Amino acid sequence: MTDPQATPDAVAAVAGAARLLSRRAGSDVELSDPEDLGGSGDSVVARARMGVNPFSDRRSVVVKQYRGDAGSADPFRYEVASCQLFTALPTDVRPSPAIIAHDPEQRLLVLEDLGRSSTLADKLFAGDRDAARSCLLGWARGLGRMQAATAGREGDFGALLRRLGEKARRDPVSEQARAALAGLPELLTDGLGVTVPEPAVPEALGAVRLLGGTGFRAFSPSDTCPDNNLVTSRGVRFVDFEWGCFRDVVLDAAYMRVPFPGCAASFALPGDVAESMIDAWRSEIAPVWPELDDPDVLESRLTDAHLLWVWWSTWMLLPRMFDRDGPIGVDASRSPRISTALRHYWRGLGAVADGSGRPGTAALAGAVVAALERESPDAAPELAPFPAFRGGR
């Protein structure tokens, strides 16, 4: 009887991995029981059992294969370079699976299997508040630990990319963020009838400082949405590095306040949990960047990042809302409605701006929230928290 998890894509990827490992070992390496773990539309991820062989005591591996043409910025190369960078780190600070082998011709990676772990999303959509809070704090600490461990290694990452044939290094969000900062005023005026107050523009442009060569740069997976983080016996581990890059560390830390901007799972976090996450993250990065242990310095930079993510999210999501005001992701049960999420983002930004001397941003936030309420009067007035925080234990 055929295993339904042994899809043709999984079978093909595992067969390619077996050939790769056999070439490396100089002897046949057997991989069996392919299990399709999903992946994105451009890749397939599979688990396979490793047969007994004299070259390894591993019981299983995970195989990831990219499909389609490589393109000008090949996500396969960024994934390989990211995993190589992490594999060179000590095990106790390694934030990801170790890379075992890769094949540019097949655009295939063989990775350490971290086991049948839940994702952070699984915990947030379950009913255990304490477990969800613990995992979120673990995610925040893991993010800070990864950033601290990769500080000063941007040159190493660039060298790894060049060895793989990738000449350009980029933050995939940077270009979009700059476009949002330039184009959102017109979009808000044309789409919502909101005129951006004059002081709001320079306040927003101050966030550009985070997109350049700051002194607080470290590795970022770029996509740190809850379903891209595994909860393992060794803590939270990050996966999926096809958009890996180096950028200012507060850009990822601001995910704790927005929250998870642009992700399908972008529900609200309780305020005390979000601030505990910031504290956990800061405790990991402060030894490397003691300046960020200064509350005033950190708060200023976090506010810039918060603002940037709200402008970016609005730039990306508002045209979709005009077309169809549905969930951010595919599954409405695990993803909020766009207009509700945007109102939450702007309401939160308004409160922060009002308390940090950014009157233009505060006024703009109020105007956008009011316009969204007029545009989608039937939408939920408040963004619901993640299910784990909706009551009960």
Domain 8-112 has CATH 3.30.200.20: yes
pLDDT per residue as tens digits for the range 166-223: 887 778 788 899 999 999 999 999 999 999 999 999 999 989 999 988 899 999 998 8
pLDDT per residue as tens digits for the range 32-60: 999 999 876 688 999 999 987 666 778 89
User: Quick one: average pLDDT of 365-380?
Assistant: 97
At 2, the pLDDT band (50, 70, 90 cuts) reads: very low
Q: Does the pTM of the predicted model rise above 0.95? A: no
- Give the pLDDT of residue 213: 83
Domain locations in the chain as residue ranges: 8-112, 118-389
At 287, the pLDDT band (50, 70, 90 cuts) reads: very high
User: Quick one: average pLDDT of 95-108?
Assistant: 94
Single-letter amino acid code for the residue at 83: C
What mean pLDDT is reported for the chain? 92
Options 3.90.1200, 2.40.160, 1.25.40, 1.10.1740; CATH of 118-389: 3.90.1200
Is pLDDT at 131 greater than 90 in this prediction?
yes
pLDDT per residue as tens digits for the range 3-23: 546 789 999 999 999 999 999
